[in-house]
Amino acid sequence: MSSILECRQVSKRFGKSHAILDATVSFEPGAVHGLLGANGAGKTTLLHILSGMIYPTQGVVTFDGQQVHENALAMSSICLVKSDERSWADYKVKDIMRFCSLLLPGWDERKALSLLQRFNLPANKRYKQLSRGMQSQLGIVKGLANQAPITLFDEPTLGLDADMREAFYELLIQECSGSDRTIIISTHLIDESANLFEYIALLEEGVITKHQDTDSFLEHAYYLQGNSVTLEQFSGDPRVLHAESLAGTTILAWYGDLSKERTELEQQGIRISPLPLQKLFVYLTRKGRFNNEEVM
Ligand X SMILES: Nc1ncnc2c1ncn2[C@@H]1O[C@H](COP(=O)(O)OP(=O)(O)OP(=O)(O)O)[C@@H](O)[C@H]1O
Task: Using CA atoms of 282, 175, 177, 3 in order, give the dihedral in degrees to the nearest 10.
Answer: -70
Site for ligand X in 11-30 (CB under 6 A): 14, 19
Nearest to 63 by CA among 212, 73, 48, 12: 73
43 binding ligand X? (CB under 6 A): yes
Q: Nearest distance from residue 141's CB to ligand X, in Å?
A: 22
For residue 107, which amino acid is it? W
d(CA 277, CA 274): 9
Give the one residue of 37, 52, 156, 226 binding ligand X; rule: CB under 6 A: 37
Q: Which stretch binds ligand X (CB under 6 A): 40-48, 56-64, 242-250, 275-283?
A: 40-48
267 binding ligand X? (CB under 6 A): no
67 DSSP β-pair partners? 62
45 binding ligand X? (CB under 6 A): yes
209 binding ligand X? (CB under 6 A): no
DSSP assignment string, 124-177: TSBGGGS-HHHHHHHHHHHHHHB--SEEEEESTTTT--HHHHHHHHHHHHHHHT
55 binding ligand X? (CB under 6 A): no
Phi and psi at 43, nearest 5°, equal: -60, -50
d(CA 181, CA 168): 16
2 binding ligand X? (CB under 6 A): no
Give the one residue of 2, 16, 39, 124 binding ligand X; rule: CB under 6 A: 39
Q: Nearest distance from residue 204's CB to ligand X, in Å?
A: 10
Q: Nearest distance from residue 27's CB to ligand X, in Å?
A: 17
242 binding ligand X? (CB under 6 A): no
Give contact residues for ligand X (rule: CB under 6 A): 14, 19, 37, 39-45
